[in-house]
Amino acid sequence: MSVKEHSGDYFIPEPSPWPIIGMASLLMTLFGGALAMNGVSIGSFLVIAGLLLFFVLLYGWFRDVIGENLSDCYNKQVDTSFRMGMFWFIASEVFFFLTFFGSLYYIRNIALPWLGGEGYLGVTNEILYNGFEAVWPSHGPGELGGDFQPMGAWGIPALNTLILLTSGATITWAHWGLKIDNQKQLVWGLIATIALGLLFVGFQAYEYGHAYSDLNLTLETGAYGSTFYMLTGFHGFHVTMGAVMLMAILGRSMKSHFSAHNHFAFEAVAWYWHFVDVVWLGLFVFVYWL
């Protein structure tokens, strides 16, 4: 960070409509969401309209940025700004996931033992929940959601781990291809990564179906169901977003937008992909395995 060129040609974009369109789309989506959750029927339409506007925004904003990049507006310093920006965005995402991992830890190791009668708050157990034993997985002393079976680690989840780790390797292979200007290796590496990502999401969807219909493991299944679906659900959402980003990058690769020296967008997506990969490893260990 210490060495930099500051030659006075830092690119300052012209006034842009996209930020305020972003505001409109977010407001529409969330306003609609709040209404829809409370059974006001117009809410769902607003959510859909808001999301459509959001995709228009993404398309338009990125089209502008890509155009500027292709017409050589960006110098080294702008590139560094983008890289740092992406890094700190991922840092904030890490803390978002840590919230859910932290909650899982707190519920399993602190709250549940109390309910089970351990420690100085153990009297709660005698008075309120006599006979409740703290064993994970748990749906609590109220046995919310009824009898259920926990999700095992060594079926689909283990396979999914293998899939995501392989996808991490294929995207690196694509990156190697990009670095030696091997277009074919780049494109096929990305296609393989996207295919593996979609396979992962497909397996997750199948697993959810299995959990709901066979295991009676639902969002309502007490603390276990809550943490299971919150963690895997947000991760699955991030994988889906990552796959969409990969598709955008694939399209740009096919149009030969990237060169060995100018491919920030590719690297940003690759970082993001590795990030969801690492989150999955945490999930596999703490949600499925232990």
For other proteins, the binding residues in 50-79 under the rule CB under 8 A are 61, 77
Cβ closest to other proteins, residue 100 vs residue 194: 100
x/- letters, 143..182, toward other proteins (CB under 8 A): -xx-------------------------------------
Kindly report whether the peptide bond that precedes residue 137 is cis, defined as omega within 30 degrees of 0: yes
Q: Do 165 and 277 form a contact (C-beta atoms < 8 A)?
A: yes
* Exposure of 241 in the CB half-sphere (CA atoms within 13 A): 13
Cβ closest to other proteins, residue 10 vs residue 45: 10
Classify the C-alpha dihedral 214-220-225-230 as positive or negative: positive
Cβ 7 to other proteins shortest distance, Å: 8
Cβ closest to other proteins, residue 58 vs residue 199: 58
Question: Cα–Cα distances in Å, from 274 out to 30, 132, 165?
Answer: 29, 41, 9
Task: List phi, psi (to 5°) of 270.
Answer: -65, -45
Q: Do 223 and 156 form a contact (C-beta atoms < 8 A)?
A: no
Residues 20-39 that bind other proteins (CB under 8 A): 20, 22-24, 26-27, 30-31, 33-35, 37-38
Residues 182-241 that bind other proteins (CB under 8 A): 218-220, 222-227, 229-230
Q: Which stretch binds other proteins (CB under 8 A): 95-103, 155-163, 173-181, 193-201?
A: 95-103
Cβ 152 to other proteins shortest distance, Å: 20
Cβ 69 to other proteins shortest distance, Å: 14
Task: Name, in order, each residue with C-beta under 8 angstroms of 121's C-beta and a sequence gap of 6 or more.
Answer: 114
Q: Which residue has the tokens 């074919």?
A: 184
Q: Which two tokens stand for residue 19?
A: 């930020």
Residue 16 engages other proteins in binding (rule: CB under 8 A):
yes
Cβ 242 to other proteins shortest distance, Å: 18
By CB under 8 A, the count of residues binding other proteins is: 75
Cβ closest to other proteins, residue 59 vs residue 106: 106
Among residues 45, 55, 70, 102, which is the contact residue for other proteins, using CB under 8 A?
A: 102
Among residues 52, 110, 254, 281, which is the contact residue for other proteins, using CB under 8 A?
A: 110
Cβ closest to other proteins, residue 44 vs residue 77: 77
Residue 42 engages other proteins in binding (rule: CB under 8 A):
no
Residues 246-285 that bind other proteins (CB under 8 A): none
Cβ 167 to other proteins shortest distance, Å: 25
Among residues 47, 69, 74, 138, which is the contact residue for other proteins, using CB under 8 A?
A: 138
Burial of 233 (0-12, 13-18, 19+ CB in 10 A): middle
Cβ 48 to other proteins shortest distance, Å: 16
Nearest to 5 by CA among 82, 70, 75, 84: 75
3-state helix, strand, coil in the chain (%, to 5): 75, 0, 25
Q: How many helices (H) and strands (E) does the chain have?
A: 9, 0
Cα dihedral 238→243→245→247 (10° resolution): -170
CA distance 180 to 176: 7
Cβ 177 to other proteins shortest distance, Å: 29
